């Protein structure tokens, strides 16, 4: 067995190396967070706030990359959710709470500031109402003026709150309607009296069809779940819009 001469220890050199390593790590850490801070500063100044998840949600903002996550986050805070509605000029009334299998909590009824709903009695969780308000303001009205040169003055729906399971079955998952976390939109009424119906106009190749697809696609950027006639036969006559469950667009 070959004899090895032990490597001489040099404590002062080892201490110097450790100090250099520590200094390099500290400098690297400072540079990294300095770069993060610089990028954040540039983003805050150069990127519209609808794309930045740390910026506050406002109903006057166009729909952006972060609108869905900000709406979901704000909707989880009852006070913040109601404050955003009020700041956006949307008036609401508190819906009475109920108990039981389909207990209703944190629900509101929109009373003004948006195209009126028919039927008017449509309790929604504040999260759902917030998403619906953004959708009506930034998607529905924009598409209506682009395609028809006029506003939507009424929205027909098939219901928001209903104590039932998905697709009305006797078994299976509880529907988002059971907690007022969804609404089924059937038609849009224009200022000139025309009605744009999901059931009748989805396959239209002109402005009616384009309008319906634009509001569906816009819904996918705001609601967690947006279902249309393209999804399945059960949705041939309405858009299902909800703020619960897994994200889905169809």
Per residue of the chain (250 residues), what is the pLDDT tens digit? 554 545 555 666 656 556 666 655 666 656 555 554 445 454 455 588 888 899 989 989 999 999 999 999 988 899 999 999 999 999 999 999 887 778 888 899 999 999 999 999 999 999 999 999 999 999 999 999 999 999 999 999 999 998 887 776 766 677 899 999 999 999 999 999 999 999 999 999 999 999 999 999 999 999 999 999 999 999 999 999 999 878 899 9
DSSP, res 174: B
Residues 56/130, Cβ–Cβ less than 8 Å: no
Between CA 138 and CA 148, with CA 142 as vertex, the angle to 5 degrees is: 155
- How far apart, in whole angstroms, are the C-alpha atoms of residue 112 and residue 204? 31
- How far apart, in whole angstroms, are the C-alpha atoms of residue 97 and residue 179? 11
Distances (CA, A) of 224 to 15, 45, 112, 227, 240: 56, 29, 24, 10, 11
Residues 239/198, Cβ–Cβ less than 8 Å: yes
**Per-residue pLDDT at 230:** 97
**Per-residue pLDDT at 246:** 81
């Amino acid at each position: 067995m070959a004899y090895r001469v032990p490597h001489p220890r040099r404590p002062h050199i080892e201490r110097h190396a450790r100090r250099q390593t520590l200094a390099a790590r500290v400098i690297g850490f400072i540079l990294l967070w300095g770069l993060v801070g610089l990028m954040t500063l540039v983003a805050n100044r150069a990127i519209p706030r609808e794309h930045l998840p740390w910026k506050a949600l406002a109903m006057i903002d166009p729909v952006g990359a972060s609108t869905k996550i900000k709406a979901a986050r704000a909707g989880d805070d009852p006070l913040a959710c109601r404050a955003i509605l009020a700041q956006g000029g949307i008036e609401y009334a508190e819906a009475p709470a109920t108990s039981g299998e389909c207990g209703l909590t944190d629900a509101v009824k929109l009373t003004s500031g948006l195209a009126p709903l028919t039927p008017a009695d449509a309790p929604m969780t504040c999260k759902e109402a917030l998403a619906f308000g953004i959708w009506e303001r930034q998607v529905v009205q924009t598409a209506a003026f682009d395609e028809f040169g006029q506003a939507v003055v009424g929205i027909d729906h098939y219901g928001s709150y209903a104590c039932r399971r998905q697709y009305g079955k006797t078994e299976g998952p509880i529907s988002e309607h059971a907690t007022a976390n969804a609404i089924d939109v059937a038609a849009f009424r224009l200022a000139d009296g025309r009605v744009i119906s999901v059931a009748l106009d989805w396959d239209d190749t002109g402005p009616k069809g384009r309008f319906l697809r634009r509001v569906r696609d816009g819904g996918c950027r705001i609601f967690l779940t947006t279902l249309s006639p393209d999804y399945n036969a059960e949705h041939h006559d309405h858009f299902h819009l909800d703020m619960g469950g897994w994200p889905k667009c169809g």
